[in-house]
Amino acid sequence: MKFNNKIEIKNRKARFEFEILDKYTAGIVLGGSEIKAIRLGKAGIAESFCEFQNSELWVINMTIQEYSHASYFSHQPKQARKLLLNRKELKKLEKDVNSTGNTIIPLRMFINDKGFAKLDIALAKGKKLFDKRETLKDRDNKRKLDQIKKDYK
């Protein structure tokens, strides 16, 4: 059974604020009203981050708005949600976060072909102010170069 649901929620600030070191795709443990709200596009991962609690990875501060047709068994919009990864990946991530001071951030939430919500997460290192300025300069130079190429043709 294939789902035609093209939901893709991105964390647009992540690549500007952080240097991406490694990427993973994780499943999310959700309740019924949560997945229905995600399928309607009522979710946000802009301010969220991931942390380890008892050797389990949890996404913190991810917003999933309440589903309008849910009964009184609805969910809390900003509750912590467990992420599902292989044990090997979890151990590697936990070691990298604890030893080097990196962080884990969500990049994108999507629904796969089987209808499950997935979260692309990244092991990342925070950028300094001068790194952010370099990113802005590179982006501006690329925009100018594209404009010159367009005018030249």
Q: Is 2 helix (H, G, I), strand (E, B) or coil?
A: coil
Q: Where are the alpha helices (DSSP H) in the chain?
A: 14-17, 32-39, 87-100, 129-152
Higher pLDDT, 1 or 24: 24
- Segment 79-101 mean pLDDT: 89
In one letter, which amino acid is 145? L
CATH topology of domain 8-127: Small Protein B; Chain: A; (2.40.280)
Give the pLDDT score at 151.
84
Q: Are the beta carbons of 119 and 109 closer than 8 angstroms?
A: yes
Interatomic CA distance for residues 104 and 102, integer angstroms: 7
Give the pLDDT score at 82.
92
Interatomic CA distance for residues 10 and 144, integer angstroms: 26
Is 134's pLDDT higher than 60?
A: yes
- Percent of the chain's residues with pLDDT above 90: 32
